[in-house]
Structure 1
Amino acid sequence: MKMSFFSAHKDEIINDTGSLADFSDVNEPNNSIKTPPNDEDLFHKMFHEHSAVMLLINPETGEIIDANMAATKFYGFDFQEKGNFFIQDINLSSPEIIKQEMDQALKFRTNYFIFNHKVSDGSIRTVEINSSPIVLNGIILLFSIIYDITEKTLASNALRMNESLMKMILETTPNGVLVTDQTHDKILFINKRFQEIWPFFKYQDIYNHKASDIFNLLSETLIDDQSIFDNISQGAEKQPVNKVTVQLITGNYYRCFSACILGEDGEYDRRLFIFEDITREEKFAKSLQKAIQKEKEINELKSGLVRMTSHEFKKPLTSILVATETIQKYGITPHDEDYAKYFDRISKNAKFMKDLTDKFLNLSKLEYGQMPIKLERANLVSFVRGWLEEFRKEQSSIRQIQFSPDCTDCYLDIDTNLLKQVLNNLVSNGIKYSPEDSRIDLSINANPMNVEIQVTDNGIGIPAKDQEFIFSTFFRASNVSQVPGTGIGLALVKQIIDVHGGTIRFSSQVNKGTTFTFELPYPDSPKNLSRVLL
């Protein structure tokens, strides 16, 4: 077998017209390419035993003349047993394109190709082909070396897609983006939104400036601390992630996120900056803060007014009560029944006004932490029995109150005067908003962690729409407009329960009744230890 590679004898193969030379007389003395006798063995060893995929192809017909073992393994075809096997059987390009590219390879115009080849399992592989002419036994063949680049191509396509996607995201995001090279003090990237925030930067010119110069210009656009950009643009290793809020001289607010980027050398020498426009949020927060401050001032004014008026009412009311009680006791003869009736009315209304002012004062003090709490260890059952006895004496109407404790000894740390106000309010409300012939149930239930006190009535109930506001100061339910009241009793109750470290809840249905349940902790419970003692 005589063979020669065109890479060494190109001039002998291609004539002056650029067409292939006639090799019909390649074995004649004047035209033969002299090769050593063992060239065939060398070629056979190189071709068939090489690990790279290799094919010998007839450029005129596309027939695969020979394939090495690596080709058989890669394609999964036994090229020798199949008989005639053509490159068109595995190359998915059209026969015209395949023929055209083989001609290009023969004329040395192109010897590098990328095609999609089909293998025996039906899958498609992207291959890179290096193809050159070779003369073997006087026949011109294409010697093709084939490399599988499917994974490389997929990775490259994915990379291009990710780059395209990232570019689209960066250009369409509402946030400004800036990327810098800390080591070389360079600007690597800005997006369109960044330029909109700082329009005096020209897109192309910015890359000609040092990053430090750009940050100096950015600092000059700030209202407050102009060293902020210095802090976040330096010391990347010390501050891998940073977040600051800045205000520009335009009045807009931006939250700047900065994060280190790992470079090719494994160092965090690059930094990403993202500028998020939070102007609306900041302006809303500031307006909300002003509103809260204004409300606080109004509440303080209201509380001051309540304290002042309560003090002013309390003194004359006390004097009226003392005077009427004295006259009733010493200044009215038995036949002065009309006078006694009027003095009794004066006394009751003065007492009502005094109780009301006391509620105002106590609520105001509790809200602002000015109420002294005098805790003492007391048997809750005995305390409630004593309170109930006094309460019944003071009530003008006879109303059945059923007291049902589930224990006899239940000791808690309580302020007895404040807890009396809680019971007075809850039971009085039950009586006031219930039919005259209905019963009020008062119970005590001792639990492992706390004690529950329940007050249940069968009254008009609380509408569902009003229930979330029921403990708010001066709030009254929509179905009690015909019943006198101030709307401070339940607010006071909640404040008193809170300072005892307890909780209060209720359940209610319109025209069926309401149950208020408040819980008080035992003296040694964690909740009791953590309450606020004023």
Structure 2
Amino acid sequence: MLKGKIILLVVISLLAMGAIAALLWQRWQFRQTMNRLLHMLDTAIDGNFKEESYDESLYSAIENKMRDYLSATETSNQDIAAEKDEIKQLIADISHQTKTPIANLLLYGQLLAEQELPEESRRFVGEMNKQGEKLNFLIAALVKLSRLETGILAVHPEKQSLQLMLEEVHGQLLPEAQRKNIQLQLEPTKEQAIFDPKWTAEAIANLVDNAIKYTPSGGEIQITVNAYELFCRIDIADTGIGFTENEQAKIFTRFYRSAQVAQIEGLGIGLYITRQIIAAQNGYMKVSSMPGQGSVFSVFLPRSN
């Protein structure tokens, strides 16, 4: 009887030890699998993922699925990189191939304009030069837009003063405002924000140029800055023609032009480029407007990373 109990206790002890050993083995195997999965993810994040072979255990089935997924993702990323390189080369080719012919057209047009021509011919030459300049601007804008959208041209935002950048924009567009008898005012500011001065100046200049274009003679444009906890807001407020609430969702799309400005020169991509530039710097834009009561375009730039 006693001997039987001892044997039973030994069997139970062996079973318990076996169960503990099996549990520890499974935990060790699980931890090893998790470590390998973490290693696979780390190498994928670093862009150094390489396929490796695994056995077909239950846990390794998960590893194999993860490997297949990461391999497909790596292949997709390589395809995207190759496609981006092709687009980059295409953009470079377009820019290079169109630059010389357009420059020649403009040059010949200027030479013709210096000749003694009948009045009607001079009018035709003037229109040719005008269209040539428009084509030159369009090609440059499309190339710039393509580079922004594909990430070929990157912004490099740093914390710096807004005043210098805004003064540059103000000085650049003040002569055009004065030609139209429009007051262009810049309110001084000591605020700083995180932005790329070159690209942000271009974005703000697009907004100010639009304000000048759509504000009648005798109007006013004001550039002001307000600081909040997380963002600095740059307002470009004008007394121009304004637009309806329904149009506010459309004006930032490519090539959109309102019917009421169809007679005014423009391509309809300035606001789209502006929004792309601001978004690339972790900023955003808002607009408020009423027909006949002017518009306020607001650019929000982060104050810290």
Structure-2 residue corresponding to 1:313: 98
Whether the aligned pair in 1 keeps the contact of 2:168 and 2:201 (CA below 8 Å) is no
Structure-1 residue corresponding to 2:35: none
Structure-2 residue corresponding to 1:364: 146
Structure-1 residue corresponding to 2:216: 435
Structure-2 residue corresponding to 1:509: 290
Matched residue type, 2:223: L
Structure-2 residue corresponding to 1:241: none
Matched residue type, 1:363: L
Structure-1 residue corresponding to 2:265: 484
The answer to whether 1:469 aligns with 2:250 is yes
Write the mapping of 1:99-114 to structure 2, written as runs, cut at 5 A.
none
Whether the aligned pair in 1 keeps the contact of 2:194 and 2:301 (CA below 8 Å) is no
Structure with the greater alpha carbon radius of gyration: 1
* Aligned partner of residue 299 in structure 2, secondary structure: strand
The answer to whether 1:497 aligns with 2:282 is no
Structure-2 residue corresponding to 1:70: none
The answer to whether 1:404 aligns with 2:196 is no
Q: CA–CA distance in 1 between the matches of 2:135 and 2:181?
A: 23
The runs of at least 4 consecutive aligned structure 1 residues that moved more than 6 Å come to 322-325, 338-348
The answer to whether 1:390 aligns with 2:172 is yes
Matched residue type, 1:387: V
- Which shows bigger deviation, 387-396 or 316-325? 316-325
Shift of the 354–378 alpha-carbon distance from structure 1 to 2, 3 Å rule, reads farther
Q: CA–CA distance in 2 between the matches of 1:452 and 1:480?
A: 27
Structure 2 portions without partners, runs of 5+: 1-83
Shift of the 343–521 alpha-carbon distance from structure 1 to 2, 3 Å rule, reads farther
Matched residue type, 1:372: A
Q: CA–CA distance in 2 between the matches of 1:358 and 1:467?
A: 26
Identity rate, percent? 27
Structure-2 residue corresponding to 1:416: 197
Structure 1 portions without partners, runs of 5+: 1-299, 530-534
Shift of the 451–309 alpha-carbon distance from structure 1 to 2, 3 Å rule, reads same
Write the mapping of 1:191-210 to structure 2, written as runs, cut at 5 A.
none
Q: CA deviation at 1:321?
A: 5.4
Matched residue type, 2:186: F
Q: CA–CA distance in 1 between the matches of 2:154 and 2:122?
A: 39
Q: CA deviation at 1:379?
A: 2.2
Q: CA deviation at 1:341?
A: 10
Whether the aligned pair in 1 keeps the contact of 2:109 and 2:129 (CA below 8 Å) is yes
Q: CA deviation at 1:359?
A: 1.7
Matched residue type, 1:385: E
Q: CA deviation at 1:324?
A: 7.4
Q: CA–CA distance in 2 between the matches of 1:487 and 1:475?
A: 5
Matched residue type, 1:392: L
Matched residue type, 1:361: V
Q: CA deviation at 1:381?
A: 0.6
Q: CA deviation at 1:498?
A: 0.3
The answer to whether 1:353 aligns with 2:135 is yes
Q: CA–CA distance in 1 between the matches of 2:201 and 2:123?
A: 29
TM-score by length of 1: 0.35
Q: CA deviation at 1:348?
A: 6.2
Q: CA deviation at 1:481?
A: 2.5
Whether the aligned pair in 1 keeps the contact of 2:181 and 2:219 (CA below 8 Å) is no
TM-score by length of 2: 0.58
Q: Specify which structure has the higher proportion of strand.
A: 1
Shift of the 343–477 alpha-carbon distance from structure 1 to 2, 3 Å rule, reads closer
Q: CA–CA distance in 2 between the matches of 1:481 and 1:351?
A: 19
Q: CA–CA distance in 2 between the matches of 1:424 and 1:386?
A: 9
* Aligned partner of residue 479 in structure 1, secondary structure: helix
Matched residue type, 1:519: F
Write the mapping of 1:225-264 to structure 2, written as runs, cut at 5 A.
none
Whether the aligned pair in 2 keeps the contact of 1:463 and 1:478 (CA below 8 Å) is no
Whether the aligned pair in 1 keeps the contact of 2:203 and 2:274 (CA below 8 Å) is yes
Q: CA–CA distance in 2 between the matches of 1:413 and 1:320?
A: 41
Q: CA–CA distance in 1 between the matches of 2:228 and 2:174?
A: 28
Write the mapping of 1:112-127 to structure 2, written as runs, cut at 5 A.
none
